[in-house]
Amino acid sequence: MATIEEFLQDATRRMDRSIETTRTEFNSVRTGRASAALLDRITIDYYGTPTPLKNMATIGAPEPRLLTVQPFDPTQLKAIEKAIQESDLGLTPSSDGKVVRLPIPQLTEERRKELVKLVRKYGEDGKIAIRNVRRDVMKGLEELVRNGEVGDDEERRGEAQVQKLTDEHTKTIDGLIKHKETEIMEV
């Protein structure tokens, strides 16, 4: 038999996870600076298994506008170059046979605006996930009342706490969006 407290703990855990997911999505959005997190979404077909690039190579940022990718297995150099080329990052890899270099071009104003839209979409997805958690918990609380496990007053207090949690987590995502937009628009 679940209690209101258990519902709130579950809601907090799931909402925190939504924020972490949103933060991870934001890290993969390009800004004017080189960041190894840019390549987090890239996977390479390694002997028939889709493998994340970060598990196949050392990724470094020796300069603010350059990423280097040094594969552990040099035979995968061409596959890595191809995967980066085909990604939506808009980066052009060049290699010397040992290391793939990714110069990070200056973002155009138009590209910056597209990236801000993308960040807002990721942020909205995070907020939707948080609201879905709230909806699930509210249903659970209603069920507790229907089964006679808690009274109406306790349910209302629980709902108020869930709403407060939702507002706090939504505000956190808004802060992340604002921070990422500032980072993207910085020239």
For 77-104, the pLDDT digits (tens) are: 888 888 888 887 778 888 888 898 988 8
What pLDDT is recorded for position 65?
Answer: 83
Domain end position, chosen among 103, 135, 162: 103
Same structural domain for residues 94 and 134?
no
Given 71, 103, 135, which residue is the final one in a domain? 103
Is there a single domain that holds both residue 62 and residue 19?
no
Residues 86, 69 within the same domain: yes
**Domain match, 120 and 59 both:** no
Same-domain status, 97 and 115: no
Same-domain status, 82 and 125: no
User: Same domain, yes or no, for 177 and 113?
Assistant: yes
Tell me, yes or no, whether 69 and 126 share the same domain: no
Q: Which two tokens stand for residue 64?
A: 């603010």
- By the 10 Å C-beta count (0-12 exposed, 13-18 middle, 19+ buried), 51 is classed as middle
- Could you tell me if 36 and 61 are in contact, meaning their C-beta atoms sit under 8 angstroms apart? yes
Cβ–Cβ < 8 Å for 42, 30: no
In whole angstroms, what is the distance from residue 169 CA to residue 27 CA? Answer: 19
CA distance 113 to 58: 31
Residue that is last in its domain, among 103, 121, 153: 103
CATH of the domain at 169: 1.10.132.20
Same domain, residue pair 167 and 139: yes
How many separate domains does the chain show? 2
Same domain, residue pair 97 and 150 = no
Please tell me the pTM assigned to this model. 0.71
pLDDT at 187: 62
- What pLDDT tens digit does each residue of the chain (187 aa) get? 468 889 899 999 999 999 999 998 888 776 767 777 788 888 888 888 888 888 989 988 888 888 899 999 888 888 888 888 888 777 888 888 889 898 887 878 888 888 899 899 999 999 999 999 999 999 998 988 888 888 888 889 999 999 999 999 999 999 999 999 988 887 6
Q: How far apart are CA 69 and CA 96, in angstroms?
A: 11
For residues 113 and 176, state if they share a domain.
yes
Is the domain of 164 the same as that of 125?
A: yes
How many CA atoms lie within 13 Å of 2's alpha carbon, on the beta-carbon side? 19
CATH number at residue 44: 3.30.1360.40
SS3 labels along the chain: CCCHHHHHHHHHHHHHHHHHHHHHHHHCCCCCCCCHHHHCCCEEEECCEEEEHHHCEEEEEEECCEEEEEECCHHHHHHHHHHHHHCCCCCCCEECCCCEEEECCCCCHHHHHHHHHHHHHHHHHHHHHHHHHHHHHHHHHHHHHHCCCCCHHHHHHHHHHHHHHHHHHHHHHHHHHHHHHHHHHCC
59: containing domain:
36-103
